[in-house]
Amino acid sequence: MHRLLIFLVVVAAAASAALLGGASRENRGGGAAATPRIAAALEAGLPAGTASELVRDLQERLRADASSTRDWVLLGLGYEQLARETGDVAFYKKAGAALRRARELDRRDPTAVVALGSLALSQHRFRRALALGLHAQFLAPAEARSYGVVGDALIELGRYNAALGAFRRMLDLKPTSSAYARWSYARELVGERAGAERWMRLARDAAVGQREPYAWAAVQLGNLHWGSGRVKAAELQYRLALTVLPGYVYALDGLARVAAAGGDLETALALEEKAADTIPLPQFVAQLGDLYRTSGRGREAREQYATVGAIERLQRASGVATDLEAAAFRADHGWPSVALARRAHAARPSIEGDDVLAWTLARAGRCDEAAHWSGRVLRLGTRDALKFFHRAWIEDCLGNRPQARIWAGRALRLNPHFSLLWTDAARRLAA
């Protein structure tokens, strides 16, 4: 699940390049066109620290002339980039205000509509993202960028056939790095892991010269290797990402998992601490807590878990929907909330929503109910060790010991290091 969430947030950066592909065209909103430096930097993928400079430049331009639709769109995208770089989701509100101003200036500008769709994805507001993406398609049906927004939203709403159709259309219209990445995820969903790796390699190679998109795709390729239990291949991609973008937090997080898999918890802690200190995303802080817990440092683990809750509250206050992630975290750490998981599933009726609801019910001791949702989780043929383990746990809870052994064995054969918290439990179930 974490891989898809990272995909939805970070692919928005790559999508910015597609959004701004027409930066040299006539400005529909009047006023001067965006400066080439601003447009080029946003298209190329911003190195850390650049977005703040570009946002300042745009603010100055808009103070002098507030009539430029293009500049308001660029400012909104700049704020989105700042949210990604800093982890400060308060920038999403500023992004929304800038993009809504762009729409007020030109209701038919598809770039503003797609940018708002990208923002809705980042905030996990998938029905809104779908509506905006479909409107952008109406405004510019031959533009590839809106199909990515539509497909991403449909994935989270569990409408997989339509989502794959949107991704395929995006790929046919404009085979870019972000289109390749989406098709890679489509292959992963249906269990074609080799195909997913091939398409993600294309996404990475298509982003040569664009630092953040290249590093992001390298990390995603590493995650695919990791999910198949190929630790060394994963490590190679994480290190490649760091050579392109030193300090890249998603690569540090991946290397922390590699170090933990090798039993080097000290190195894993140092890497995860650096990632969480740089951008305190909940997945980094939770993983840091799990590393402390595995190292026998219970007090530090509890501190990190409390921090996860604080971050989630800040995210909700800034318009980010966090129910699914919060429900999964609570189920994993011993305080499952069935009401929260049901609310999350209603908003995101996908295989991820099915999995979180099934796992939460199981952890709450309601295994008969969990079995129904667990039966839906793998309906696409997805090969995911954590989902296999959840199925094993539920089968064991129901007293189906042979089935529990089969599913736990599948999880471990696919990825023997799939979870700091649950690998040992899988080994016990597989024995």
pLDDT the model gives residue 214: 93
22 — phi, psi (to 5°)?
Answer: -105, 30
CATH 2.170.120.20 for domain 175-246, yes or no, is no
- pLDDT, residue 85, reads 74
Tens digits of pLDDT across the chain (431 residues): 433 333 333 333 333 333 333 222 223 333 333 344 444 444 444 444 477 888 998 999 999 999 999 899 999 988 988 887 777 888 999 999 999 999 999 998 999 999 999 999 999 999 999 999 999 999 999 999 999 999 999 999 999 999 999 999 999 999 999 999 999 999 999 999 999 999 999 999 999 988 888 999 999 999 999 999 999 999 999 999 999 999 999 999 999 999 999 999 999 999 999 999 999 899 999 999 999 999 999 999 999 999 999 999 988 888 889 999 999 999 999 999 999 999 999 999 999 999 999 999 999 999 999 999 999 999 999 999 999 999 999 999 999 999 999 999 999 999 999 999 999 999 999 99
- Token representation of residue 361: 């019910």
The whole-number pLDDT of residue 180 equals 97
pLDDT at position 87: 75
- Residues with Cβ < 8 Å from 138, sequence gap 6 or more? none
CA 17 to chain CA centroid, nearest Å: 18
pTM: 0.86
Q: Where are the domains of the chain?
A: 1-171, 175-246, 320-430
177-180 — which CB contacts under 8 Å span 24+ positions? 177/14, 177/17, 177/203, 177/204, 177/206, 177/207, 177/210, 177/213, 177/217, 178/11, 178/14, 178/15, 178/17, 178/18, 178/148, 178/203, 178/213, 179/144, 179/148, 180/206
pLDDT at 53: 84
Please state, as a whole number, how many other Cβ atoms lie within 10 Å of the Cβ of residue 239. 15
- Spatial separation of the C-alpha atoms in residues 352 and 4, rounded to whole Å: 9
Tokens of 144: 């590839």
DSSP tally for the chain: helices H, then strands E: 24, 0
> What is the CA angle 273-219-53, rounded to 5?
70
Asked if residues 118 and 19 have their Cβ atoms less than 8 Å apart, the reply is: yes
Assign domain 320-430 to a CATH class.
mainly alpha
Asked if 209 and 398 touch (Cβ cutoff 8 Å), the reply is: no
Q: Are 78 and 42 in contact (CB under 8 A)?
A: yes
Do the domains 1-171 and 175-246 sit in the same CATH topology, yes or no?
yes
CATH number of 1-171: 1.25.40.10
